[in-house]
Every structure is written in structure tokens, then in C-alpha cells.
Amino acid sequence: MLSDIKVSCSPHISGPLSTRRVMVDVIVALLFPMAAAGYYFRIHAVILIGTCVVSCAAAEWLCCAIRRKPSTLDDFSAVVTGILLALSLPPRIPAWAAVVGSVFAIAIGKMVFGGLGANVFNPAMVGRAFLTASFGMLMTTWTTPATLDPNMSRIDRGNIIAAREHVIRGRTQATPLAWSKMAIKRRLGGETYDDQFFAATVTGEVGGCLGETSAIALLMGGAYLLIRRTIGFHIPLAVLLSAFVFAGAAYLKDSWTYVHPFFHLTSGGLLLGAFFIATDPVTAPLTRRGMWIFGLGVGTLTMLIRIVGEYPEGVMYAVLLMNAVTPLIDRLFRSVPVGGKPNV
Amino acid sequence: MRLGIVRSRSFRGGTHAAQKKELTREKPIEPGPAVGEVAVMLSQHIGSTCRPVVKKQDKVSAGQAVGECDAFVCAPVHSPVNGVVREVALRSHAVLGRSMAVVIQPDPQENPPKLPAAEMFAPDFDEEAYSPEQICDAVLRAGIVGMGGAGFPTRVKIEPDPRFPKDTMIINGCECEPYITCDYRIMLEWTGRIAAGIKLAKRAAGCSRVLVGIEDNKPDAIDALRAALEAGGIRNGIEVLAVRTKYPQGGERQLIKAILGKNVPAGGIPPMIGVVVLNVATAAAIAEAVVCGRPLTHRVVTVTGEAIARPGNYYVAIGTSVRELIEFCGSVTEKSAKVVLGGPMMGIAVADLETPITKTTGAITVLTAEQIGKAKFERRRTACIRCGRCLQVCPESLNPTRIAHAVKSNLIDEAERNYMAACIECGCCSYVCPANIELTGYIKTGKIFLARQKKRMPQ
Ligand code: SF4
Ligand code: SF4
């Protein structure tokens, strides 16, 4: 007969999901863009991802040790942060800068708030913002994909105009967005953007941050997360839809100056942001309606920065800004109890 | 219906937990053990506790009332056996911790329980032979309470109340909890009895229509009840409906939403919108009480779980101890297990195997050590990652993580403001939480806290 009777509160069974499983799912989905990064940027991808993951994990372990708390490494959230940070950095950024960014992301972006679940801002984006603010030059130095130039030479700003010829021939350097911005500024016009260029942004054979170039790999990773129900479709859909509408409106108004909305969707960090960064549960709203608003905000702000603002790219700032208003969204869009009114 | 797609009747939220009903769904109801002792709890329902009306050494006969009460919200309790009162003493109670019980030693010649003849509840059963007052009176005297789990005295529910006129009666045959099959078995085997009970309850409550809701994973039960209720001639306002299989479809608020599309006010009760909900087992008990004059002394209990050697559905004397039932089912196959009164989602784990069965115990589920290992309290807990899953599954659309964290920080008023009282304790939020937070546990704790604070106020 029974010698050991357990008691606990109901429910006595539980679903299969755990925090670690959520994180591992994200890592698995990130394998797609990581593979694309490896294909286009070869050894640089390996070095950068390795550096970021290891230093994020080390930073997390250290912070836990300092706080005399059990290590939280086994929830794998630090690994996710490391990969996301690596994927959003220029491929040939020096390793020391990657380490600095990683440590900042974990220590300031996450652990000072109290660790996983308590941080207000997406840690990877905090790390990236710190690097952008401190080492602007490093953060805008791009690399030609290995498939175009086996030397993977660095591209500096001066090259952009010289690269126009390449662009027209479908060989792109710098980032597509930087290119389009430049084209607008110098009144080169939208004609420089053609189908070959678009195709390059889909496959990823363009300059850009390590993991953002290949739209197809990002879409595959996003689809995996959606199928596994690790993320809801609300945020990605809201981000992409609002970005598309905004870019579409600009395009309709002046199709010579502004590039086609599809181009905006496939290039830059929009897909990476929509599927992997804006969907970070910790820093996004809790309710479905809140998620819609959050996604709309990220998409619109990104496009506002890209089209109206000074910078060619705006996903990072858009996400960070929306992270900041997430508590507000949570207040405004509370869940309404069945048969009742929202609480005050 | 919308866009040509038939929306299956359901509610928002909920989970699809593993059903596990196959362990006992094909097992016909069998007589339970002839026991060495029954402990009839004096509090088996919501409302006032009964006072014992027998004392030590008294002889009692089967069906004799041993506990009575004059309060309005109360139900008497009866002896299930012929025997002698051994004592009136404290026994472990699944909900109350400890409570007084009348402990009866059955006559050695006592036979296993017999069911009333099925012929008494023929398909052409005529409820008009009984007046509404007669029915209410019989239900009161038989001590019938809601047998689905809550245990609210049935007489109070069905008696016409001028404050809340009732026009619709909903009969709950969902049985959405995993593992449990007692209601399913009685729907198949006691169809006539349930049909008669439904007609009687309808007459007593004066409802114009009755809607029977059964989950669509029990098509045979739906067919059986449909046939039984329609065989008695015209439908006379009684309809059997299939509702979607989803936990907690059997929650009365969720069932009302699924069937009528109406929400009961938050923290309110169904009569506020003119609805009364009865469980199928309660309907069967009403029929037995009114037609045979038989008090509620036995019920069908599903003894199940992976750790039980011979799971099955048994007709058991109320007051039988959990231990005797488990031993009757070939004991437990493991050394370490969790014994749950009820199903795994809402049931209560007991530490004392001498805890007696009450009128509301539909099942004993014994979970194995391995299953326990997978449950929340054994698994690694992380901080809330704010994934929002608990909000999405909550059938009452609450914010479980907010309430739970308020309780955790001792902010009971904050929890109250977030509708803690509207939580039906279904367990969905804990079930899905990836951070393994015992959200339901915190919320239950908060409710107890609040009740205690309120009690302390001067009277
Ligand atoms: S908060 Fe209450 S009603 Fe909502 S899912 Fe949790 S236990 Fe169920
Ligand atoms: S399900 Fe758990 S982790 Fe997710 S929001 Fe609710 S409490 Fe937090």
C-alpha cells in the first residue's frame, strides 16, 4: 500500500510547457537565420554568435553569483539574448565590442531589473543600442557577403555611391536600406531599385546585420515559432501589416522617391524584429489587444524612422520605445472579466 | 452561426488537457465494497452544518436521517446502512480539513447496496403525478445537493424564488475533468432515471425549457438521453445539445455561455439571468427521491488513475473511506502517489486515507509518482515571463498572474480589485504556465485570506 502520500494544491497535472522549452523553441527557430548568416558571412558568423552567446551566459552567471542567487543559466534565456544580439550586429564587428555589448545587454538590460521576467527592455536591443551609441562607426561598417566577394571586404560609407553600379546589377553592398536612403537623399530615385535587388533581399545576398539579411530564413524561423505556438501571430502580423501600410502609403504618394513596401518588409531588421524581438514575451503586453497595439506601434515607428527620420533603420528604436510604453498598454488594455467591467 | 460556419457551442479560453477517460469509460457501474465503517460527514454541502440527531449506541436503519438542520441553505444527511452509531467524532474532510461525522458500524448482515428498479423510471414517466411542492419537499428531505462538485442544496436551487424567476434549466452532462467517467456511465446506464429527474426538476422549478449540455466526445450519451427524453412523447421544451469538448466546459458559467450565449455577471450566480443548472447525477438523485422516497445515501464514484490496479465505476455508500475504496480496487501499484478526491484539475489531494466520501465526491484519482514529478510543484519554477498564456486560457478572462502576484505580495485588496472572487479555480492557468507558477494555488490562498480578514470584522 501507499507509504508516501503527496499533497499539493490543484491542478495536479500540468501542461508540457516550461520556460526552458519556450527558450529552446526560439533557439531552434533562430537556427534558420543563423544558418543563413553562416552561409553568407562564413567564419565571421561563427565567431560573432559564439562570442555573444558565451559572454551573455558568462555575464548572467556572474550576476547571479554576485547576487548570491542560484544560477538562472538553465532557462536558456541568456543564450537567446546572445544569439539575438549577434544577429543584429554587423558581421565583422570586433570581438571586444561584441563582448561589451553582451555584458551590457545582460547586466544592465536584464539583471539590474531583477532578472528574467522583470526587465522592461529587450536585453538584446539594450546591448545593441549601447553599442550604437558608443561605437557608431563600428555599427555601420558592413561586409560584402562571401557569395559575392570571397574576401568579404568591409564596405565603408564612401563606397555607397560608388556601389551604385553594383546595386543596379543586383550586386549590393552597404545595406539595402542605407542605399535607398542615400538614393532618396541624392534624388537618384526609385528606379535604382529593381527586381534583382528585391530578390537579393529575400535570399540574403546583401550587406547588413549578421542575421537580418535573409528574409526567407527569417520567415522560416517565424513560421516554426507560429506552428509551435511559441509565439502568437498577433504581434508579428501587427508589425508587418502596419509597416506595409505605412510604406505603401508613402509609395503611393511618391513612387519615385520611396521604395516599394515589399522592399521595406524584406530588408533591414523588420522580419527579425517582428518574429523574434518584438515577440519577446517579457517586454511585450500581456493581453491580446495590448499585443495588437504594441505590434502596430513597432511597425509604425519603424517606418516613421525609416521614411521620415534620419536613420535608414529603425527597428531597434521602435522596439525599445514600445517596450517603454508596454506597462502603459497593460494598464489601458486590461482583460475584461466575463460578465463584468474592467477593473480600475 | 456566422459566415455559414456552424460554431460549436463553447466559451472563450480553456484548455485541452489529456482526457484519460479510457481507463474507466467502458467499465459498467458495479456495487461498491461492503464496508466495516461509514463516516457520514455532517457537512457535505455549501451552507450550515447539520447537527447530529443520533447518539452513540443508537441503532440506525438505512435511509434514516442522522444529521438535520433548520437553516434554509442546508441539507440533511442520512445513514446509508443498517447498523449502530459508534461515535460522533471528527474526521478528515477534503475541503474543511476536519469536521464532525456520524460514524456508523454496519450490521454484519448488511448487504451491498441495491439500486431501485429501473422500471420505475420508464420512458413514459409522468411527472404530472407529482405536485411541485411535493417534489421540492422530497428533494429537501432526501438531502440532495449538487453532485457535480459544488454541493449547493438542490432544493434551494429548484424552488421558485420570486427574486429570481427562472425560465431556463440547464442540465450539466459535460464531465469535462480528465479521468472522471461517473456521469458518463450513469447517462448510459441510468438514462430513464435521469430523464425522469429532469422532468421532475423542470416541473418543480417551473422552467419553460430545459437544455441538456453534453460534451461532443460522448456521442452515445447524447443519443441515449435524446432518445429517452423524446420517447415520452413531444419534447415539451426539453432539448439535448452537444457542446464542444474543452476544459472547463462543465463549469456552470461556461456551460451557460456555451448553450445560451449569455454571460452570468462576474461574481454572480446563474439565477440572476433566470437560469438554474443541475448536474445529471443530481437529476438521477431527484428521481430516486421523489419516486422511491430514497434519500441520497449512495453515489457513483470513479476510482481511477494510473496507480490504481483495477480502475472502475462503483456505486458506493457515502461515508466509505478512501482507503477502503482503493483497497477494493486492488490497491495501489506504487509506493508513492497522490490521492485526489475529484479529478486532477480541480480535485483535492488528501493526506489521510481515512477521509470519507461525501455527496460531492465524483472520483478518486490516484496519480503515479511519475505524474507527480511532472506536476507544477515538483518542477523547476522560474519567474513569470509574462507570456500571457494564463490570460488567454482563463475561462473567466481574468489576469491570473496579476492576481497571483498580488496575493504573493500580500496585497489582498489589489487581488480583490482584479476580480479574485470571480475565479472559478478551474486550474487552467496553472496548467499552462511555462514558468510553473501555481497561479491557482495563490488565488485560492488569497480567497481564504480575504475570507478570514472579513470574518475578523465586528459582527
Ligand atoms: S484565474 Fe481562476 S478561473 Fe482563471 S484560469 Fe486560473 S483558476 Fe481558472
Ligand atoms: S502563464 Fe505563467 S509565465 Fe505566462 S504570464 Fe501567466 S504567470 Fe506569467
pLDDT tens across B260-317, in order? Answer: 998 998 878 898 899 999 999 999 999 999 998 899 999 999 999 988 989 999 999 9
Report the alpha-carbon distance of residue B437 to residue A69 in Å, rounded: 19
pLDDT in tens, chain A (344 residues): 677 888 888 898 888 888 999 999 999 999 999 999 999 998 999 999 999 999 999 999 999 999 888 888 889 999 999 999 999 999 989 999 999 999 999 999 999 998 999 999 999 999 999 999 999 888 888 777 877 766 666 654 444 444 544 443 434 446 777 767 666 666 555 555 667 777 888 888 888 899 998 999 999 999 999 999 999 999 999 999 999 999 999 989 887 778 888 888 988 899 999 999 999 999 999 999 999 999 999 999 999 998 888 788 889 999 999 999 999 999 998 888 888 776 55
Smallest Cβ distance to A286: which of B347, B365, B399?
A: B399
Nearest partner of B172 among B94, B279, B260, B68, judged by Cα: B279
The dihedral sign for the CA sequence A135, A139, A144, A150 = positive
B161: cell is: 424564488
**What pLDDT is recorded for position A140?**
81
Average pLDDT, chain A: 86
- For residue B392, the one-letter residue type is Q
**What pLDDT is recorded for position A169?**
41
DSSP state of B8: P
B30 contacts B314 by C-beta, under 8 angstroms: yes
- Give how far A118 is from chain B: nearest CA, Å: 8
Omega into B248 within 30° of 0, i.e. cis?
yes
Alpha helices per DSSP H over A148-280? 159-162, 164-168, 176-185, 195-203, 215-227, 234-253, 261-266, 270-272
What 3-state class would DSSP assign to B52? strand
**Placement of cell 522583470 in the chain:** A118
What 3-state class would DSSP assign to B100? strand
Q: Measure B423 CA to ligand 1 centroid, in angstroms.
A: 5
Whole-model pTM? 0.90
Domain spans of chain A, in order of start = 15-139, 179-332
B356 contacts B40 by C-beta, under 8 angstroms: yes
Q: Is B443 a pocket residue for ligand 2 (Cβ < 6 Å)?
A: no
End-to-end CA distance of chain A: 53
Q: Whose CA is nearest to atom 7 of ligand 2?
A: B401
In A, minimum Cα distance to B437 occurs at A18
B245: cell is: 469538448
* DSSP string for A273-291: IIIIITT-GGGS-SSHHHH
Q: Among B425, B430, B437, B442, name the best residue to mutate to test ligand 1's pocket (greatest count of ligand atoms within 8 A of Cβ).
A: B425
**What pLDDT is recorded for position A203?**
86
Q: Measure B392 CA to ligand 1 centroid, in angstroms.
A: 10
Question: How many of the other CB atoms lie within 10 Å of CB of B159?
Answer: 21
Pairs from B228-233 (Cβ < 8 Å, separation ≥ 24): B228/B123, B228/B191, B228/B192, B228/B194, B228/B195, B229/B195, B229/B198, B231/B123, B231/B124, B232/B123, B232/B124, B232/B125, B232/B195, B232/B199, B233/B124
- For residue B169, the one-letter residue type is M
Nearest partner of B235 among B275, B266, B195, B197, judged by Cα: B195
B417: cell is: 480589485
Nearest partner of B215 among B190, B191, B187, B195, judged by Cα: B187
Report the alpha-carbon distance of residue A83 to residue B150 in Å, rounded: 50
Q: What ligand 1 atom has the least distance to the C-alpha of B248?
A: 8
- Per residue, the 3-state secondary structure of B67-93, as one string, reads EECCCCCCCCEECCCCEEEEEEEEEEE
- The CATH code for residues B118-292 is 3.40.50.11540
**What pLDDT is recorded for position A158?**
46
A56 contacts A81 by C-beta, under 8 angstroms: yes
Residues whose beta carbon lies within 6 Å of some atom of ligand 1: B 393-396, 398, 400, 423-429, 439-440, 443
Report the alpha-carbon distance of residue B286 to residue B166 in Å, rounded: 18
Provide the ipTM: 0.87
**What pLDDT is recorded for position A301?**
96
CB contact under 8 A, B335 and A4: yes
- Give how far A340 is from chain B: nearest CA, Å: 5
Q: Nearest 5°: CA angle at B75, between B70 and B79?
A: 110
A74/B contact by beta carbon, under 8 A: yes
- Residues of B with CB below 8 A from A281's CB? 385-388
- Residues of A with CB below 8 A from B247's CB? none
Report the alpha-carbon distance of residue A265 to residue A243 in Å, rounded: 7
Q: Measure B389 CA to ligand 1 centroid, in angstroms.
A: 11
Q: Is B363 a pocket residue for ligand 2 (Cβ < 6 Å)?
A: no
B391: cell is: 490570460
Q: What ligand 2 atom has the least distance to the C-alpha of A286?
A: 5
**Site from A20, A338, A344 to mutate, B interface, most B CB atoms within 10 angstroms:** A338
Domain spans of chain B, in order of start = 118-292, 381-453
B183: cell is: 456521469
Nearest partner of A177 among A140, A223, A147, judged by Cα: A140
Report the alpha-carbon distance of residue A79 to residue A77 in Å, rounded: 5
Smallest Cβ distance to B266: which of A9, A18, A340?
A: A340
DSSP state of A305: I
- For residue B96, the one-letter residue type is L
CB contact under 8 A, A21 and B434: yes
**What pLDDT is recorded for position A131?**
96
Give how far Cα A10 sits from Cα of A59, B13, B24, Å: 37, 19, 22
What are A55-103's pLDDT values in tens digits? 999 999 999 999 888 888 889 999 999 999 999 999 989 999 999 999 9
**Cβ within 8 Å of residue A245, ≥6 positions away:** none
Which residue ranges in chain B fall short of pLDDT 70?
A: 1-7, 111-113, 231-235, 374-378, 456-459
A20: cell is: 526552458
CB contact under 8 A, B332 and A2: yes
B186: cell is: 450513469
Report the alpha-carbon distance of residue A79 to residue A85 in Å, rounded: 10
**What pLDDT is recorded for position A188?**
56
The dihedral sign for the CA sequence B398, A228, B245, B16 = negative
Nearest partner of B196 among B225, B173, B169, judged by Cα: B225
- Give how far A60 is from chain B: nearest CA, Å: 15
Class of the CATH-defined domain B381-453: mainly alpha
CB contact under 8 A, A287 and B388: yes
Q: Is B387 a pocket residue for ligand 2 (Cβ < 6 Å)?
A: yes
Roughly what angle, to the nearest 10 degrees, separates helices A77-87 and A19-66?
90
- Give how far B310 is from chain A: nearest CA, Å: 14
- Give how far A339 is from chain B: nearest CA, Å: 4
Roughly what angle, to the nearest 10 degrees, separates helices A77-87 and A95-107?
140
A to B CB pairs, distance under 8 Å: 192
- Residues of B with CB below 8 A from A283's CB? 386
**What pLDDT is recorded for position B87?**
93
Q: Among B379, B380, B384, name the best residue to mutate to test ligand 2's pocket (greatest count of ligand atoms within 8 A of Cβ).
A: B384
What 3-state class would DSSP assign to A132? helix
